[in-house]
Amino acid sequence: MGIKLRKPTTASQRWTKLTDFKELDPISKKPHKSLTAALKKSGGRNVHGHVTTRHRGGGHKRKYRIIDFKRDKDTLKAKVISIEYDPNRSANIALLDYEDGEKRYIISPSGLKVNDIIVSGDKVEIKTGNCMTLKNIPPGISVHNIGLSPNGGAKIARGAGTAAIVMAIDGKLAHIKMPSGEIRLINKECRATIGQVGNIEHERETLGKAGRSRWMGRRSSVRGVAMNPVDHPMGGGEGKSSGGRHPTTPWGKATKGLKTRKKKKFSNKLIIRRRPSKNKRRK
A 10 A CB-CB count for 142 gives 20
Residues 6+ apart with CB under 8 A from 232: 224, 225, 250
pTM for this structure? 0.88
Confidence category of residue 28, pLDDT binned at 50, 70, 90: low
Instruction: Categorize the per-residue pLDDT at 22 as very low, low, confident or very high, splitting at 50, 70 and 90.
Output: confident
Specify if 19 maps to a domain. yes
- State the CATH number of the domain containing residue 256: 4.10.950.10
d(CA 213, CA 202): 15
Cα distances (Å, whole numbers) of residue 60 to 88, 207, 216, 250: 11, 15, 6, 29
Average pLDDT for the chain: 91
Of 153, 168, 202, the residue that ends a domain is 202
Same domain, 105 and 12: yes
- The predicted structure's pLDDT at residue 263: 72
Cβ count within 10 A of residue 74: 12
Residue 123, domain member (yes or no)? yes
- Which pLDDT tens digit goes with each residue over 163-192? 999 999 998 999 999 999 999 999 999 999
Same domain, 74 and 185: yes
Measured over all CA atoms, what is the biggest interatomic distance in the chain, rounded to whole angstroms? 72
**C-alpha to C-alpha distance for 154 and 67, rounded to whole angstroms:** 10
Quick check: 273 and 183 in contact, CB under 8 A?
A: yes
Q: Quick one: 175 and 120 in the same domain?
A: yes
**Whole domain around residue 273: which residue ranges?**
227-283
Give yes or no: residues 41 and 105 share one domain.
Answer: yes
Q: What confidence score (pLDDT) does residue 234 get?
A: 94
Alpha-carbon distances of 222 from 1, 53, 54, 199, 233, rounded to whole Å: 34, 14, 11, 32, 13
Domain count, the chain: 2
One domain for residues 59 and 140: yes
